[in-house]
Amino acid sequence: MANTGKKKTALLERTTVIDTLEQEILIQEESKQLKPSHFIRDRIYTDLTSGNTPKIITRFPPEPNGYLHIGHAKSICLNFGMAEEFNGFCILRLDDTNPTKEDTEYSQAIQEDVCWLGFGSATDTSYTSDYFEKLYSWAVYLIEQGKAYVDDLTADEIRNYRGTLKSPGCDSPFRDRIVEENLELFANMRAGVFTDGEKVLRAKIDMKSGNINMRDPVIYRILHSTHPRTRDQWCIYPTYDFAHGQSDAIECITHSLCTLEFADHRPLYDWLIESLPISSKPKQIEFARLNMTYTVLSKRKLSELVSGGYVHGWDDPRMPTLRGMRRRGIPAVAIRDFINRIGVARADSIVEYEYLEFCIREFLNKTADRRMAVLNPLKLVIENYPNYMEEELEATNNPEDSSAGKRLVPFGRELYIEHDDFMEIPAKKYFRLAPGKEVRLRYAYYVTCTGVIKEADGRIKEIRCSYDPESRGGNTPDGRRVKGTIHWVSAKHSVSAEIRRFSHLFTVENPGAEDDFLSVLNPDSMKVISGAKIEPSLSNSEIGRPFQFERLGYFTSDPDGTSVHPVFNEIVSLKDSWKKLQK
């Protein structure tokens, strides 16, 4: 792994000095060996080596009508990743052709999220609205060529005339308008003479085509709505089909990578490129979208969760949005690693959520500092530890990374341990604390339970112990062994905190397949623990910095918290529940 990283850095350094095609191909050859192959990488590689394409240009084209989710991350990693790998470039294009649904809030968030994920910068950002004038002139061109006409049918009528998968469509009575009339009507559409829906511009292709997308698709519609960027300059807007391929052409995109649902649009994409006076010939290539268990990856559904108050916003840590995952504390590197590992295929599939968790754990295990926190505190008093005494004990920050160093943790006579780490009548194979039993306190001493103090109702209030002063640091001179090691915090020095633990947002694997996805929401997807006790060093921790709370899981500080009342989100538990790996 480390070797591969070094090799890649060396490769990247070399890419800056290459100047001949031969060298470039050599580098691509090497680069290809470092990554698992997939059909898009192979296709790009072939296009570059055959000389068809001197340089690749890709784009990621989200509509700014919501926040990005992990499905988008797949497309981002693919588009930016391929460009990076093959020394080309990738444009972030905000596909802003529907002012009724879009907002600058989303555009900004999308740009930030792409950067957070590790790709792109402001200079690579474009907007479809930058091309409205050009797109308009191409629509006029199509009319002039007899390949587009203004239709007066209503949206419902157009739908009825379109036919079905089994039956052909029929021509609109307005289909044979002469070019001059179409030009005038289209100019009047632009001039604001008509109301929304009164007229549309349609490409004139074939109402009998086996592909419904080729049955005279609408390419311009009237929307009297203020656009976030072009304001009231336009009241007609190109449809996705008309804007998309043409924007690709304007930007000289070589490989237009999109999800499978657009495969049926490809003939239209190609028809438009061929019918217009365009020299650049982008190619649309489809791949399977990312689906994940126990969540939904559709902006519409995610938006319903937010507007219905089922979650606390787009950045709720339970949301599969990049915002939500970021707030939850999931590192961008782990998301990229996950996307890289699941690969790119042509067939739809559903990836287990646990696989993402596995990637997160793998990354955090190597990088996150360890701390101690007690979620369900039970007081432990060390009777033979003097009242006046306090110590600072050395704890390792990260056993996986010696450069992470050590820290000092305060220790005293009164501690908190987890309720679960004590059993008055221990079960079989219970190696934690129980009356008369000895355990190791992590980084501290051996303690033996000497008594239990109870509330009037019988609940355990606190436990009493004695400690072995010789066992400081976790070992005894006599080499005595204990089976259990438990974590703790000092009662006097610890800070109270709120901890939010999460489980799946839905109770079924494929909520998107339900008639009503809201009916399978998990009512227990968030559990708030208000009386946790954390090590003092955690009270001012940076938002988003991940920690492993020893024996519990990975956590990060949430912006809802303050230094007086810290709030932590659980990123992922420690337990590896990704069953398949254990097979």
CB of 278 to ligand ATP, least distance (A): 21
Classified as helix, coil or strand, 55 is coil
How far apart CA 256 and CA 59 sit, in angstroms, is 7
Distances (CA, A) of 396 to 122, 128, 471, 548: 41, 52, 17, 12
CB of 326 to ligand ATP, least distance (A): 18
Letters for 472-511 (x = contact with ligand ATP by CB under 6 A, - = none) are ----------------------------------------
Decide: is 230 part of the binding site for ligand ATP (CB under 6 A). no
Opening angle at CA 492, ends 491 and 495, nearest 5:
75
- Is 63 annotated in the active site? yes
Among 56, 61, 189, 357, binds ligand ATP (CB under 6 A): 61
Among 244, 255, 299, 442, binds ligand ATP (CB under 6 A): 299
CB of 262 to ligand ATP, least distance (A): 7
Q: By CB under 6 A, which span of 59-67, 115-123, 244-252, 503-511 interacts with ligand ATP?
A: 59-67
Decide: is 72 part of the binding site for ligand ATP (CB under 6 A). yes
Decide: is 289 part of the binding site for ligand ATP (CB under 6 A). yes
Decide: is 344 part of the binding site for ligand ATP (CB under 6 A). no
Residue type for position 329: G
CB of 435 to ligand ATP, least distance (A): 55
Letters for 242-271 (x = contact with ligand ATP by CB under 6 A, - = none) are ----------------xx------------
| Residue 342 or 380 with smaller CB distance to ligand ATP | 342
Q: Which two tokens mark 172?
A: 């609109």
CB of 286 to ligand ATP, least distance (A): 9
Decide: is 74 part of the binding site for ligand ATP (CB under 6 A). yes
Question: Dihedral of the CA atoms 312, 571, 329, 318 (nearest 10)?
Answer: -20
Q: Where are the beta strands (DSSP E) in 271-360?
A: 283-287
547 and 541 Cβ atoms separated by less than 8 Å: yes
Decide: is 320 part of the binding site for ligand ATP (CB under 6 A). no
How far apart CA 304 and CA 293 sit, in angstroms, is 19
Distances (CA, A) of 397 to 375, 419, 453: 20, 25, 34
Largest interatomic CA distance in the chain: 102
- Is 299 annotated in the active site? yes
- Strands, sheet with 89-94, edge to edge from the N-terminal-most edge strand: 57-60, 89-94, 125-127
Number of residues counted as binding ligand ATP (CB under 6 A) = 15
Residue type for position 104: T
| Residue 32 or 289 with smaller CB distance to ligand ATP | 289
Nearest to 244 by CA among 107, 63, 69: 63
Decide: is 322 part of the binding site for ligand ATP (CB under 6 A). no
Q: Name the active-site residue from 299, 323, 432, 440.
A: 299
Among 139, 290, 417, 520, binds ligand ATP (CB under 6 A): 290
Among 27, 44, 62, 202, binds ligand ATP (CB under 6 A): 62
Opening angle at CA 137, ends 131 and 138, nearest 5:
90
Q: Which two tokens mark 193?
A: 């003479």
Nearest to 113 by CA among 288, 328, 324, 298: 324
Phi and psi based region of residue 356 (left: phi greater than 0; alpha: psi -120 to 50; beta: remaining): alpha
Q: Name the active-site residue from 24, 41, 63, 432.
A: 63
CB of 66 to ligand ATP, least distance (A): 7
- 247 Cα distance to chain centroid: 26
CB of 471 to ligand ATP, least distance (A): 54
Q: By CB under 6 A, which span of 56-64, 153-161, 199-207, 366-374 interacts with ligand ATP?
A: 56-64
Q: Name the active-site residue from 35, 101, 289, 407.
A: 289
Which residue has tokens 């050859």? 29
DSSP state, 224? -
CB of 552 to ligand ATP, least distance (A): 32
Q: Which two tokens mark 148?
A: 């587009």
Distances (CA, A) of 199 to 150, 179, 238: 7, 16, 13
Decide: is 71 part of the binding site for ligand ATP (CB under 6 A). yes
Decide: is 238 part of the binding site for ligand ATP (CB under 6 A). no
Letters for 368-407 (x = contact with ligand ATP by CB under 6 A, - = none) are ----------------------------------------
364 and 553 Cβ atoms separated by less than 8 Å: no
User: Which residues contact residue 36 at a Cβ distance below 8 angstroms, ignoring those fewer than 6 apart?
Assistant: 343
CB of 65 to ligand ATP, least distance (A): 7
CB of 87 to ligand ATP, least distance (A): 22
Among 63, 251, 421, 570, binds ligand ATP (CB under 6 A): 63
Which residue has tokens 């089994």? 166
- Is 500 annotated in the active site? no
- Residue number of the CB closest to ligand ATP reads 71
HSE-CB of 388 using CA atoms within 13 angstroms: 0
119 and 83 Cβ atoms separated by less than 8 Å: no
217 and 173 Cβ atoms separated by less than 8 Å: no
Q: By CB under 6 A, which span of 69-77, 144-152, 479-487, 490-498 interacts with ligand ATP?
A: 69-77
Q: By CB under 6 A, which span of 297-305, 451-459, 464-472, 525-533 interacts with ligand ATP?
A: 297-305
| Residue 31 or 79 with smaller CB distance to ligand ATP | 79
Binding residues (CB under 6 A) for ligand ATP: these are 61-63, 71-72, 74-75, 258-259, 289-290, 297-300
Which residues are tagged catalytic? 63, 289, 299
